[in-house]
Structure 1
């Protein structure tokens, strides 16, 4: 009996030991100078095992890792910490982790510059990083509006009726900006205009921005820069979150997201965005809507699968549908496509799929793919625009390290399909011929580390387009780490954009102008040089300063420039017989004070010109200077934070219809400013509210009108001369036609907003 008891006791001890080995429990608290850091990420190095801290900074992590291992603790706005755990802690013990506060994401991991995960300060390519905290400082219903406070980046509205637009980087037009989701080219071509709406902000981990050509890694469209939207993984995402706000204009936006565990090896990330604006407003009295009415829904899913040796397997998809219209106040859907009441009505449906699969081999090889299907049914007055675009993309990369060489070898295949009911896909005999292009690519880059302070990245990409032949895009990036607080980077390279004209410029349909293509267009090419200097300053009183200074120069050949000036009834497209140059300097200063005040200031001076046939002109709709700011102050004693954000833009040349057009040729200096108050005194809740566009600035100020001949949108009372130009008559003293393209700033005035956030981790 005694032996049986001894045997039973021994078995219990062995079983307990096995269970403990299989389910080690690590508990701890993450703080910054004894102030809890909420929602910090805690991950075991080299695994997918992790968790996040709660509102009080505390965490608990169960794992089955034997022996010692390293914890990686990261949080937005703090330096990443590393803690070695030698053995499992008893349930009653805490690991105390103190994070050091930094400025905006200086040590965050970035992948956009080199297709490899490196810390931002170690990347040879300058990459700007913007976190969810940045997005919350000025809540918006879409990424397009959220980028208005990023230095050197400007959302450009291209139509005062339908309110569609694109993103300008360093003064370059929207077609030169490539937008990606998790590194895959989801938004390009036709999607540039509509695809930036409906990405749930609750699922965004960070936004990475490169200013300057990146075609050697990403191919066509990445001529002027790119924006990479990184979504959360299941370790970082909350179990459930919801964020909703409303404005005094009658806008309603709802973001909801969460994660679901499906079995032991599968996690699902789900996000939904819904936006509605159904309030007809005409504050400037032109009988046209000041803001397009919209009804939009977007559903996003991301599946993560655990595999042997922590290999990556993920699959994501998004569905997007939007119904938007703007026009005369009397317009209803029954007038859609007719010539009685003018309206611009756009139905957009998009499907997106993207995934990553790490091959089951010893080498680090990754297969990535994406596919988008964009279907658009739109009318602009009595002009119908029906378009379909499909983009398929696949990429295989091999990441290897040998001695002091960090090498990436890759191949890509891109398929573009585009069809519409315009001259863009019409043959000379009038038959329809959809545009189908397959572009295979090969690329290689080698980052050579000469020492801890000096590294050189060399890259080359080869693309073949059967319309244009072989295209080569080399790049070079040199990084000199002078010391831990001073980094100098020099980047140079080329970019290209294959002809994909009407998919970006179809805003021409929104006016009374016709499109005229002078000749068969050649691909655009660019050469860029960028010098970047990063300086970090730590003061004795705890204040932290980050200075980021850049000088840039980009020279375009074969640039395709829309000509609005030669004929007021046409938009003429032709390869520039000369050069287009974008050059300037840009600087950001990021300061974190020890009293809870944070300041991010940015300014850009630029000169963007086109020289054609020896005649030099400033590029249309391009400002010569701009500045942005984000100022935040946290009053911890009453759980209140204050955010003051804004931007200011210098004059830009605007598209006039004739020499008699009474509207200003140049915009004035203008500014959009916002203020927000956020209360965090209740667990899991945040209440926020404030005022947008404090100065009540709208582009109609100082102009007799914005929309030319808004009272005659079908030009029924316009008399045309023998050359097709509008003649001066008593009813038309300026010789104008209907045109809504004179727009450079949001036409939405001052408004209050209020919202609520709720989060469960």
Structure 2
């Protein structure tokens, strides 16, 4: 059972000079995380039972300068942090951002910087604990470190009957070290180790939001995610990342605001799954998931102090077939939940009531 003590303090001083504003200060974080892993049944002889203790003290200083030019059309933010970790030593993280107002409703942003973090392995991969896979730590884990770059374009619309915006983003992350469980080398194990080779995340996202006559709302977004490592010169996609995803929301609320109707549609593209080809045939799964769509809707009616609502989730009742490998024997060698990529619950109907406490 985990126990955690977390403290964070920050002291900051700000002042202006010329076209600049400067923020500077220092921070301190203390984390004590104690995770105790044990098994009531260890017929599979899993090796990771034990006490996992993280005791972190991180003292840091930072400075961030904001410069405005060209009648505030151009903003340049440059900052740097220097942190001292009681286990990993001194880590320097610079970052800078540019923002330019091309026109009153057109803005472009660009940024580049570094980042780091320590990994909460069990809480971030909780599904491993309900699997027969043995978690193998092949070495002492170092902090994750990465270089991030990105660019964004935002265009706003302010028509008489239509308002909204269009936004497009591209971000790239190049990892200097990355912690991601290796599900592929052995389907009975999840191998945890540092990875300092080439590991990249490319993300593109485009989003459109429109409001018609202050009553109809339409919002849709598309994202492309290319997350991979290069191993022995080969590009290997990391599992559980849909390369394509579309999210659309529709809403209607009359000017009287007496009721409103909302619907959202999620389309997920294929995801690479862990390699199970060395399992017996009955315990194998495909290398990629299916495409699938989830549709949810809700109707809400407003009374003076109450809201009545009813809705349906997963309207078309899509469910992943056979989500758990070896489900017939939860203590067997091949029991594995790591190939769950879609919903396991079908269509759900619900009704409810909310009471609003008037604010004075």
Question: Same fold, TM exceeding 0.5?
Answer: yes
Q: Residue 712 of structure 1 corresponds to which residue in structure 2?
A: 329
Within-5 A mapping of 1:13-32: none
Secondary structure of residue in 2 paired with 1:421: strand
Show structure 2 runs of 5+ residues with no match: 39-48
Between the aligned partners of 2:235 and 2:33, the Cα distance in structure 1 is 34
Q: Residue 691 of structure 1 corresponds to which residue in structure 2?
A: 312
Between the aligned partners of 1:620 and 1:707, the Cα distance in structure 2 is 16
Between the aligned partners of 1:568 and 1:388, the Cα distance in structure 2 is 31
Q: Residue 192 of structure 2 corresponds to which residue in structure 1?
A: 573
Alpha-carbon distance, 1:629 to partner: 1.4
Checking the alignment, whether the CA contact within 8 Å between 1:578 and 1:613 is kept in structure 2 is: no
**Equivalent of 1:446, from 65, 75, 83?**
65
Checking the alignment, whether the CA contact within 8 Å between 2:306 and 2:355 is kept in structure 1 is: yes
Within-5 A mapping of 1:119-268: none
**Equivalent of 2:226, from 607, 611, 616?**
607
Secondary structure of residue in 1 paired with 2:180: strand
Secondary structure of residue in 1 paired with 2:324: coil
Q: Residue 415 of structure 1 corresponds to which residue in structure 2?
A: 30
Alpha-carbon distance, 1:694 to partner: 0.9
The change in CA–CA distance for 1:616 and 1:591 in structure 2 (over 3 A counts) is same
Between the aligned partners of 1:506 and 1:535, the Cα distance in structure 2 is 40
Alpha-carbon distance, 1:446 to partner: 0.6
Name which of structure 1's ranges 503-512 and 596-605 shifts more when overlaid on structure 2.
503-512
Between the aligned partners of 1:594 and 1:506, the Cα distance in structure 2 is 46
Instruction: Confirm whether residue 676 of structure 1 aligns to residue 295 of structure 2.
Output: no
The change in CA–CA distance for 1:570 and 1:593 in structure 2 (over 3 A counts) is same
Q: Residue 337 of structure 1 corresponds to which residue in structure 2?
A: none
Q: Residue 485 of structure 1 corresponds to which residue in structure 2?
A: 105
Task: Tell me the alpha carbon deviations over residues 235-262 of structure 1, each in whole angstroms, 9 at most, x when there is no partner.
Answer: xxxxxxxxxxxxxxxxxxxxxxxxxxxx
Alpha-carbon distance, 1:649 to partner: 0.9
Between the aligned partners of 1:595 and 1:431, the Cα distance in structure 2 is 58
Alpha-carbon distance, 1:477 to partner: 0.6
Alpha-carbon distance, 1:668 to partner: 0.8
Alpha-carbon distance, 1:503 to partner: 4.5
**Equivalent of 1:757, from 333, 339, 354?**
354
Between the aligned partners of 2:59 and 2:323, the Cα distance in structure 1 is 45
Checking the alignment, whether the CA contact within 8 Å between 1:651 and 1:667 is kept in structure 2 is: yes
Between the aligned partners of 1:512 and 1:588, the Cα distance in structure 2 is 41
Moved over 4 A (4+): 430-433
Q: Residue 667 of structure 1 corresponds to which residue in structure 2?
A: 289
Q: Residue 46 of structure 2 corresponds to which residue in structure 1?
A: none
Between the aligned partners of 2:256 and 2:34, the Cα distance in structure 1 is 59
Between the aligned partners of 2:177 and 2:200, the Cα distance in structure 1 is 12
Q: Residue 89 of structure 1 corresponds to which residue in structure 2?
A: none
Between the aligned partners of 1:739 and 1:549, the Cα distance in structure 2 is 38
Q: How many pairs does the alignment contain?
A: 345
Between the aligned partners of 1:624 and 1:433, the Cα distance in structure 2 is 34
The change in CA–CA distance for 1:618 and 1:455 in structure 2 (over 3 A counts) is same
Q: Residue 457 of structure 1 corresponds to which residue in structure 2?
A: 77
Show structure 1 runs of 5+ residues with no match: 1-385, 424-429, 719-736
Alpha-carbon distance, 1:529 to partner: 1.0
The change in CA–CA distance for 1:640 and 1:527 in structure 2 (over 3 A counts) is same
TM-score normalised to the size of structure 2?
0.90
Between the aligned partners of 2:65 and 2:168, the Cα distance in structure 1 is 26
Secondary structure of residue in 1 paired with 2:329: coil
Secondary structure of residue in 2 paired with 1:635: coil
Q: Residue 16 of structure 2 corresponds to which residue in structure 1?
A: 401
Q: Which has the larger radius of gyration?
A: 1
Alpha-carbon distance, 1:578 to partner: 1.1
Between the aligned partners of 2:155 and 2:233, the Cα distance in structure 1 is 41
Within-5 A mapping of 1:534-545: 534-539=154-159, 541-545=160-164
Checking the alignment, whether the CA contact within 8 Å between 2:169 and 2:206 is kept in structure 1 is: yes
Between the aligned partners of 1:693 and 1:509, the Cα distance in structure 2 is 27
Alpha-carbon distance, 1:757 to partner: 2.1
Alpha-carbon distance, 1:709 to partner: 1.9
Checking the alignment, whether the CA contact within 8 Å between 1:577 and 1:612 is kept in structure 2 is: no
Q: Residue 127 of structure 1 corresponds to which residue in structure 2?
A: none
Within-5 A mapping of 1:322-721: 386-422=1-37, 434-451=53-70, 452-539=72-159, 541-594=160-213, 596-636=215-255, 639-659=258-278, 660=281, 661-680=283-302, 682-700=303-321, 705-715=322-332
Between the aligned partners of 1:503 and 1:624, the Cα distance in structure 2 is 24
Task: Tell me the alpha carbon deviations over residues 22-65 of structure 1, each in whole angstroms, 9 at most, x when there is no partner.
Answer: xxxxxxxxxxxxxxxxxxxxxxxxxxxxxxxxxxxxxxxxxxxx
Between the aligned partners of 1:589 and 1:675, the Cα distance in structure 2 is 20
RMSD (Å), alpha carbons:
2.2
Checking the alignment, whether the CA contact within 8 Å between 2:128 and 2:337 is kept in structure 1 is: no
TM-score normalised to the size of structure 1?
0.44
Alpha-carbon distance, 1:557 to partner: 1.4
The change in CA–CA distance for 1:506 and 1:634 in structure 2 (over 3 A counts) is closer
Alpha-carbon distance, 1:545 to partner: 2.4
The change in CA–CA distance for 1:405 and 1:755 in structure 2 (over 3 A counts) is same
Task: Tell me the alpha carbon deviations over residues 413-450 of structure 1, each in whole angstroms, 9 at most, x when there is no partner.
Answer: 11111222349xxxxxx995732111111111011111
The change in CA–CA distance for 1:556 and 1:431 in structure 2 (over 3 A counts) is closer
